[in-house]
Amino acid sequence: MRALTWHGKRDVRVDTVPDPRIEDPTDVVVRVTTTGLCGSDLHLYEVLGPFLDEGDILGHEPMGIVEEVGPGVTELSAGDRVVVPFNVSCGTCYMCSTGLQSQCETTQVRDQGNGAALFGYTKLYGQVPGGQAEYLRVPFGNTLPIKVPEGPPDDRFVYLSDVLPTAWQAVTYADVPKGGSLAVLGLGPIGDMCTRIARHHGVENVIGIDLVPERLDRARARGITTVDLREHGKELGDVVRGLTGGRGADSVIDAVGMEAHGSPGGKLAHQLTGYLPDAVAAPFMKAAGIDRLGALYSAIDIVRRGGTISLSGVYGGTADPMPMLTMFDKQIQLRMGQANVRRWVPDILPLLTDPNDNGGDPLGVDGFATHRVPLEQAPQAYAMFQRKQDGMVKTLLKPGVVG
């Protein structure tokens, strides 16, 4: 089969690799019809090389058609249409039964001290072959894949793999009070979807913050109040307080994580780590951290006293400096973590299938992607996405499609 594989920093290629096969009685093999390119994939493209091997298959946002099922699979049949969550979770352990699939006790990557394994996301998360490929082996076929109906295009459902549950959890964790305000830092795919979900939940004062014109335009077109960091970066706190009665936002979502702009020290750490031997770089990245914390510091500044910060952006490292005195003094509540995909599916799926709810698309997922390209052009898409070119916000890759 053809698959997008890692070969080094900013070097990904579409190679011919062995087809996946049934390895466990509850495995299924899915023929991937659509798979997303995620902002966190750029971490692999740029700085997480010490945790990758050449030839690793990337990607964690796939959907497709079940081609083969193991003898222990009773909930799916060949031909079923499914979305594959990015968490590899068993669905039956204590953590999964409490809705914490990202902490699945069956797939926890204990040798790295991490939670549930993830598709296509380094040795830190199990080194499981990813979904930017023509086929994907999916374990736990009775409990992990999300069966979706025929009819609507893949665009309607593919975001159940990551974007929708990640944004839904971020908004839920933000816990915006009735009549309150929400500021969203970063209007990439997750931040953009957070603004849509917040409005769907009835939050009227939603403020979207970014510096990429196309992202700001997308949010503004849906009625979101936007703040352009190119104009207001140095006085962001004052601007947000001016939009929220002088107090600051009741809740803030940091949808940026370690991709934040404007931290020279963090940028230098990113660059230097790329030149270290893997044996040196890996422990350095885990212990010293590679984060650029500008977004988190901004969140702490713009949230009101007693407010809530919800972190959905990915951070790494264990030695990041946190302004604990300020956080304590402001009585900030902080919630974070990988999305528990399966936990939120019962809340989200009806919004994608009810024809009486804005045509079955109240969150605007059918037109959410800005680019759709054949899998064979994935290396060019990675480069374009990393450079934020051509208005690229969300890209869907199409295996088996000729450009």
Q: What is the DSSP letter of 119?
A: B
pLDDT band at 356 (very low <50, low <70, confident <90, very high): confident
Q: For residue 329, what are the contacts with CB-CB under 8 A and spacing of at least 6?
A: none
Q: Model confidence over 100-112: pLDDT tens digits?
A: 999 999 999 999 9
Domain 167-336 top-level CATH class: alpha beta
Q: Model confidence over 227-280: pLDDT tens digits?
A: 999 999 899 999 999 999 999 999 999 998 765 344 444 444 445 445 555 554
Tokens linked to 11: 């070097």
Mean pLDDT, residues 346-357 taken together: 89
Q: Which residues on adjacent β-strands are paired with residue 28?
A: 69, 138
Q: Which residues on adjacent β-strands are paired with residue 29?
A: 68, 137
Q: What is the DSSP letter of 376?
A: G
Q: Model confidence over 87-100: pLDDT tens digits?
A: 999 999 999 999 99
Tokens linked to 111: 């040798």
Contact 30, 82 (CB under 8 A): yes
pLDDT at 403: 65
pLDDT band at 402 (very low <50, low <70, confident <90, very high): confident
**DSSP H or E run through 15:** strand 11-16
Q: For residue 158, what are the contacts with CB-CB under 8 A and spacing of at least 6?
A: 34, 35, 36, 61, 62, 63, 83, 396
Using the structure block, give the residue that is written with the tokens 């600051």: 248
Q: For residue 253, what are the contacts with CB-CB under 8 A and spacing of at least 6?
A: 170, 171, 174, 182, 183, 184, 185, 191, 194, 309, 310, 311, 312
Amino acid (1-letter code) at residue 168: W
Phi and psi at residue 309, to the nearest 5°: -110, 130
**Which CATH superfamily includes the segment(s) 2-162+340-398?**
Medium-chain alcohol dehydrogenases, catalytic domain (3.90.180.10)
Phi and psi at residue 300, to the nearest 5°: -65, -35
Q: Model confidence over 265-321: pLDDT tens digits?
A: 444 444 544 555 555 455 545 544 444 678 889 999 999 999 999 999 776 655 567
Contact 136, 68 (CB under 8 A): no
pLDDT at 301: 97
Nearest to 89 by CA among 76, 113, 105, 72: 105
Q: Model confidence over 152-173: pLDDT tens digits?
A: 999 999 999 999 999 999 999 9
Q: For residue 391, what are the contacts with CB-CB under 8 A and spacing of at least 6?
A: 214, 370
Tell me the average pLDDT of the chain: 91
> Is residue 311 classed as helix, strand or coil in its secondary structure?
strand
First to last CA, the chain: 17
Q: Is the pTM of this model over 0.85?
A: yes
Contact 284, 274 (CB under 8 A): no
Specify the higher pLDDT residue, 49 or 385: 385
Cα-Cα-Cα-Cα dihedral sign, residues 365, 91, 33, 133: positive
pLDDT at 400: 87
Contact 133, 3 (CB under 8 A): yes
pLDDT band at 22 (very low <50, low <70, confident <90, very high): very high
The domains of the chain are located at 2-162+340-398, 167-336
Percent of the chain past pLDDT 70, that is, above it, reads 89
pLDDT at 283: 57
Nearest to 138 by CA among 15, 22, 17: 22
Q: What's the count of helices (H) and strands (E) in the chain, helices before strands?
A: 14, 17
pLDDT at 295: 87
Check whether 86 has a pLDDT greater than 90: yes
pLDDT band at 55 (very low <50, low <70, confident <90, very high): very high
Q: How far apart, in Å, are the Cα atoms of 52 and each of 3, 127, 129, 251?
A: 16, 8, 11, 36
pLDDT at 288: 46
pLDDT at 17: 98
Q: For residue 113, what are the contacts with CB-CB under 8 A and spacing of at least 6?
A: none
Q: How far apart are CA 238 and CA 261, in angstroms?
A: 19
